[in-house]
Structure 1
Amino acid sequence: MMRLFMFPGQGSQFPGMATPLLINFPYLKELFEEAEDASKLQLRKICSDTDQEGELKKTANQQPAILLISIACWEVLKKEAEIEKLPGFFSGHSLGEYSALVASQKLSFWQAVSLVSARGIAMQEAVPIGCGTMAAVMRCPVEELLSHLKAFKEERKNQDFVLEVVNYNSPQQQIISGHKKAVDDFCSKLKKLKLICKDLPVSAPFHSSLMSPAKEKMRGLLEATSFLDSQTKIFTNLTAKIEDPYKADFLINQIDNPVLWEPTVNNAYNSGVRSFIEIGPGAVLCQLIKRFPMKDVLTHNSKDLQSLINKIQQLSL
């Protein structure tokens, strides 16, 4: 069976997410120390203490924290169950693409932590807090959403604002991003049409064109990054295709362009994937997979790490 190893992005974090990992797998201490050295952040405290929720919500802390937990889970699965020997492809949702690059041996852990730490700061600084936001639109096919968006912009053609679809997550869920007033007004319009909108707890309009300053700040760092030549295959957010060799442009342009998750999942399925395995905090990506019409697929996540280890050892995924 072919698998897709999936790594989550922002929004998957939760307070205390490192505690069970450090208790049950003490050999992860060195990985946490390496991450703290690379990021200059107290990541063990941020990821372990339940009273650190405020710090964990900050983009500059959240990005390296999620990367760390994702790779910690991957390292446990390697050591306890040799997951790297299973045939499969790799992909990550937004920030998760960095985790996928580490797991697929195309980028070192130290490089990834350093890069996402800088990425988090650049994104946090790109738009003043309170000026931009994001929202999920559910039970609305993308063609219908784009039609509503076109009409909304036509009604306000004399106003200067950014409002874009930035995550194509599943057949029934898309994410919009842009100036806060525009997002709020558009959601109000959609709700009047009996559509479901949910504000996302984020501090910036990620993946919208408002993130262009962050892209330019990251350009030099990413262009100077060497990606390793490994035999593993990775689907990128930017193209939803397997890209080999992997290039810095995929991470540079990802910053202010949409995440093509729905086409990524469809392309993985058409490439033979029938088992989708989420590695990292939470189970957001598995929940998205369940909204696809595919009936012959399995989903697994690392929320219960020991259970996932057992399944791998029994080759039941």
Structure 2
Amino acid sequence: MKLAFVFPGQGSQYVGMGQALAEAFPAARAALDEADAALGGGLLKLMFEGPEDDLRRTANTQPAILAVSAAVHRVLMREAGGGFQFPAFYAGHSLGEYSALVAAGSMSLQDGVRAVRARGTFMQDAVPAGEGAMAAILGFEPQRVKEACAEAREHEPGKVVEPANYNSPEQTVIAGHAAAVDRAIAVCKAKGAKRAVPLPVSAPFHCSLMSPVQPKLAEVLGGIQIKQPNAPVIANATAEPNTDPARIVALLLTQVTAAVRWVETIQKMAVNGVDTVVEIGPGKVLSGLVRRIDKGLRAYPVEDPAGLSTVLREVFAYGLECVDGAAPADGGVAAKGRTCQFQSFGDCEGDGMQPGPDGQPQCLDSYRCRDGHCTVQCAGHKDCKEGEVCKVGICNRGGKAVASCTENRDCIYPESCYYGQCVTRPASLRCSSDLDCPAENRCINGVCQ
């Protein structure tokens, strides 16, 4: 399984978002409180109680969605325990790119919510109320939408109308001056578009009318510490993965006036082997778009305890090998047509503590012998004793982090991460963890297979 995390943008907000998760998980409440405090208070009350009109204001919507997305991500990391794995890619839709950067460790939650509050304010002020508009064009090829916008500009000299969001092969959003947007809608309908839906937005986002935002936002972003993300973040403006912290601010500034290339973003994930996408934050819009772009991708929205339970069961089963559509075998765990068994990392007898025929331990450190096979100690908290938690396949007691790493770069060379421990690889072994092997192989008893 190869994962991607995606984060929603403006339009996914609703009164009460994040509340159920905050009531169920202290980590979620802590993240929301942190975001609220960074803005001087009032955001959390607005999110939970409304009024809806105030929540829809861009300057409030953007930090609210980011705060909920960050809270969901923190809970997911914590509750997945040993099953958590970093994604191959992060991406966010418009505002969601900031949520992705927070989740990837490139910026702090406090800096993130302050930046998007400023971004929302600048966007709201860039175009006088009533002068701008946006509309979703449905059932019309993206290239033909682009051509219709060009034709509309010819009939509305000096006016702006441009593609703003390439959401799916069947849905492209346009933005610009209201008169030019109306003209583009008429052109699209005349040429065969199924529908054109005006959007109830306060400003024409992701078009050249937003250019006054860029210098102001540059000043805000210039005061933020930007770090290298822990996995590539696919930028909206380029649909290309980026890990260079020196490029992040420029990409965020370009994003303000550039179209969100969401179709290409999901296609980039798929062509690089991603098969499962987890949507982190309020709503399920991106999960629906993912399925429309590539029906071969599995998409899981996570915004509340129910969604969290599903994704923990079906995605973050660390140390388990799952098969779709198989009937549960002895000891198997069925989950919506999926059967999961502990992965085997070699055969063993008894408790696995005695040396094998070659004099080497039957099971390597941090493994246990289960039903004649060496497996990780745990795939979730339930596999550990009371008072212990599962972290990177190891049962940890009393809050002490026995697991010291999650990947090789957490260790000092020449050590590498072997299921939670930084170890020096024995000369007789060709691999010490799956990370030492090509993507199509696993490390089984020291050999990439």
Question: TM-score, normalised on structure 2?
Answer: 0.66
SS at match of 1:239: coil
Q: Is contact 1:73-1:279 (8 Å) kept?
A: yes
| TM-fit CA distance, 1:28 | 2.6
What pairs with 1:41-56 in structure 2 (closer than 5 Å)? 41-49=41-49, 51-56=50-55
Letter in 1 for 2:313: N
Deviations 1:154-201 (A, max 9, x none): 233xx3211111111221111100111221232233334442111222
Partners of 2:279 and 2:299 lie apart in 1 by: 8
With over 3 angstroms needed to count, the CA separation of the structure-2 counterparts of 1:194 and 1:275, relative to structure 1, is same
Pick one of 305, 308, 312 that aligns with 2:308.
305
Letter in 2 for 1:77: L
Gaps of 5+ in 1: none
State whether structure 2 residue 278 is matched by structure 1 residue 277. yes
Gaps of 5+ in 2: 323-337, 339-449
With over 3 angstroms needed to count, the CA separation of the structure-2 counterparts of 1:206 and 1:87, relative to structure 1, is closer
Partners of 2:204 and 2:71 lie apart in 1 by: 28
SS at match of 2:234: coil
Q: Which stretch has the larger CA shift, 214-223 or 57-66?
A: 214-223
Name 2:254's counterpart in structure 1: 253
State whether structure 2 residue 42 is matched by structure 1 residue 39. no
Q: Is contact 2:5-2:87 (8 Å) kept?
A: no
Question: TM-score, normalised on structure 1?
Answer: 0.93
- Number of equivalences: 313
Name 2:77's counterpart in structure 1: 78
| TM-fit CA distance, 1:127 | 1.0
Relative contact order, CA 8 A, sep 6+: which one is greater?
1
| TM-fit CA distance, 1:210 | 0.8
Q: Is contact 1:41-1:61 (8 Å) kept?
A: no
Name 1:137's counterpart in structure 2: 137
Q: Is contact 2:237-2:255 (8 Å) kept?
A: yes
Q: Is contact 1:45-1:52 (8 Å) kept?
A: no
Name 1:177's counterpart in structure 2: 175
State whether structure 2 residue 162 is matched by structure 1 residue 164. yes
| TM-fit CA distance, 1:116 | 0.7
Name 2:216's counterpart in structure 1: 217
Larger radius of gyration: 2
Partners of 1:204 and 1:211 lie apart in 2 by: 9
With over 3 angstroms needed to count, the CA separation of the structure-2 counterparts of 1:243 and 1:86, relative to structure 1, is closer
Partners of 1:43 and 1:152 lie apart in 2 by: 40
Letter in 1 for 2:280: I
Q: Is contact 2:65-2:282 (8 Å) kept?
A: yes
Partners of 1:155 and 1:87 lie apart in 2 by: 46
| TM-fit CA distance, 1:86 | 4.2
Partners of 1:109 and 1:19 lie apart in 2 by: 18
Deviations 1:217-273 (A, max 9, x none): 101121332211244111111111111203210111111111111111111111111
The structure with the largest helix share of the pair is 1
Deviations 1:59-114 (A, max 9, x none): 00000000001011101101111465244211111100111011111111111111
Please tell me the root mean square deviation across aligned C-alpha atoms, in Å.
1.8
| TM-fit CA distance, 1:140 | 0.8
Q: Is contact 1:18-1:44 (8 Å) kept?
A: no
Partners of 1:236 and 1:57 lie apart in 2 by: 25
What pairs with 1:1-317 in structure 2 (closer than 5 Å)? 1-49=1-49, 51-82=50-81, 84-156=84-156, 159-195=157-193, 196-246=195-245, 247=247, 248-292=249-293, 294-303=294-303, 304-314=307-317
Q: Is contact 1:129-1:204 (8 Å) kept?
A: yes
Partners of 1:283 and 1:129 lie apart in 2 by: 29
Partners of 2:118 and 2:86 lie apart in 1 by: 33
Letter in 1 for 2:55: L
SS at match of 1:175: strand
SS at match of 1:273: coil
> Matched residues, percent identical?
37
The structure with the largest strand share of the pair is 2
Letter in 2 for 1:13: Q
With over 3 angstroms needed to count, the CA separation of the structure-2 counterparts of 1:41 and 1:190, relative to structure 1, is farther
